[in-house]
Amino acid sequence: MSDPFSDVLLRRVLAYLLDLLFVALISAVLGLVFTLLTIFSLGLLGVLFYVLPAVGVLYGALTIGGPRSATWGMRILAIQVLRTDRGRPDFAQALVFSLLFYATVALTSWLILLVALVMPRKRALHDLLSGVVVVRADLP
């Protein structure tokens, strides 16, 4: 039987780098749309720019809480997020996971990877706190 946790940590890092690109592209498109809306509304819709910092969190919550349980970067690298009972996380759990990810990265920089290096199933701190595991999706 194949190990569903083999190479997961490396795949997670690479998936995150891809997801950074996707979030940047989404943010750039939204920024352009918000700029145009702000101009056309004579500044009234300028408050839309307050949404931009939440793009990464919402991207993670919507994709991980969706039917494939993975961000676009995770899908490309064949990994997915599952509850500890192997079910798919719902939107609320995916939102908590995504919020905890950004909070732990903001507080610890990349020290969160040290936790994953010593955990048996390569679980990061935000995995433990939100009750999920990240596994390879390309294994039966």
Is residue 127, in this structure, part of any structural domain at all? Answer: yes
Is residue 130, in this structure, part of any structural domain at all? Answer: yes
Residue 119 belongs to domain spanning: 8-136
Residue 127 structure tokens: 């995995």
Is residue 2, in this structure, part of any structural domain at all? Answer: no
Residue 22 structure tokens: 């996707």
Report the pLDDT value the prediction gives residue 111, as an integer from 0 to 100.
78
Cβ pair 70, 52 in contact under 8 A: no
Report the pLDDT value the prediction gives residue 42, as an integer from 0 to 100.
94
Report the pLDDT value the prediction gives residue 1, as an integer from 0 to 100.
54
Report the pLDDT value the prediction gives residue 14, as an integer from 0 to 100.
95
Instruction: Compute mean pLDDT per 10 residues along the chain, 140 residues long, and list them.
Output: 83 94 98 96 93 96 96 97 94 96 86 82 89 89
Cβ pair 74, 15 in contact under 8 A: yes
The Cα-based distances of 70 to 29, 88, 118, 122, 123 in angstroms read: 22, 10, 23, 17, 16
Report the pLDDT value the prediction gives residue 115, as an integer from 0 to 100.
84
Number of folded domains in the chain? 1
Report the pLDDT value the prediction gives residue 109, as an integer from 0 to 100.
79
Give the Cβ contact number of residue 59 at 10 Å: 19
